[in-house]
Amino acid sequence: MQAEAQSQLLKNEPLARYTSWRVGGAADRVFVAENLSELQTFMQTLDHAETVYFIGLGSNLLVRDGGVRGTVIVMHQALSDLRVDGQTIYAEAGVTCGKVARFSATESKQGAEFLAGIPGTIGGALAMNAGCYGSETWNIVHQVLTINRRGETHVRNESEFIPSYRHVEMPMPDEWFLGAWFKLDVGNAEVSQQKIKQLLATRLASQPLNLPSAGSTFRNPYGDFAARLIEASGLKGYQIGGAQVSPKHANFIVNVGECTALDIELLIRHIKDVVLEKQGVALQQEVRVIGEYA
C-alpha cells in the first residue's frame, strides 16, 4: 500500500480507474501526488502551454474514450490533512466530503452535515460548489488555499470568489484548490451525527449506489427537479449500450456493464433532446466532460 501513496508520474495511463463511472481513455501523463511539496515541485516543471486537469475521486467527471492530451493530477491519495484550526475546520483537497462531515460532527460543529451526501473530495466540491439537501459548499467556506501552475500557493478569502449554482468563478486563471477553512456553528455532536445518519439512509434508499455513476447528471432547473422531468418524459430505464438511466433515480446514469464514455455522452444528449421536446425545458448537465473521442 505504501508504494501506491508515493508520488508517481505515469505515462499513457488509462483514466477509467480514476473515475466513478469507470470509463475513459488514457491520459498522456498522470501525476499522483504524495504531498504538497512534491506537487509544487512538479507544477514548476510544467510547460506554460501544458493542459492541466486536477481530479479527486472523478465522481463528477466523464473522460472520453480517446483519452486526454495533457497532464492529469490526481489528488485523492494526497493532501489528506483534516483538523480543527482555531474556530474553523481545515480540510485539504484530497479529503472526502463524507469524512469532513463526520469529523465536523465529532468536533461538535454544525453546518457541514450535508457534505456526507456528496460523493467526492473537498477539491471537487469547492470547484463546482457541490451541494445537496438545500445546502452548498460555498455557504460554509471562510478561506481557501490555492496553487497555480508555477507551484505558488495563496490563501484567499471567500469574498474573492463568485459562487453560483454548481459553479465558482475564480479570481485568477490557472489556479486550483488545495484546501479550505470552513466556518461552522457550535453544535451538538449527537444531533449532527443523527442528521448524517438520516441523510445517508435517504441517499441509500433513493440512489443507485450499487452501480458506477457520477451522481446527478443534470442540474436541477429553477423550481423543479431534473429527475422529475426525465421520469415524466418516460426515460427511466432507457439504455444506450452499457449506459442506462437508472430505474431508481432518473437523474443518475449508471454503467450496467461494457459501457463506454460514448454510450454515456449519447445518452446525455438523448435525455436533453427528449426532455426539451416533451417538457419544454433545456437541461444543463452537471458532469464535466474532458478528453477526445476515440
Supply the residues annotated as catalytic.
166, 216, 286
Distances (CA, A) of 264 to 69, 73, 227: 20, 24, 17
Q: What are the start-end ranges of the E strands in 7-138?
A: 8-14, 26-32, 52-55, 61-63, 68-74, 82-85, 88-92, 109-110, 131-132, 135-136
Distances (CA, A) of 7 to 38, 76, 79, 148: 7, 12, 12, 19
141-148: strand order across its sheet:
82-85, 88-92, 175-183, 141-148, 153-157
Under 8 Å CB-to-CB from 266, ≥6 apart: which residues?
Answer: 240, 241, 243
Distances (CA, A) of 290 to 53, 201, 204, 252, 284: 9, 32, 29, 19, 16
What are the cell numbers at 265?
455522452
What are the cell numbers at 125?
466540491
Tell which phi-psi region holds residue 151, choosing left (phi > 0), alpha (psi between -120 and 50) or beta.
left
Helix ranges (DSSP H) in the chain: 2-5, 36-43, 97-106, 122-128, 189-206, 226-232, 261-279
**Mapping DSSP to helix (H, G, I), strand (E, B) and coil, where does residue 212 land?**
coil
Q: Can you state the angle between helices 97-106 and 189-206, rounded to 10 degrees? A: 150
**How many residues are recorded in the chain?**
294
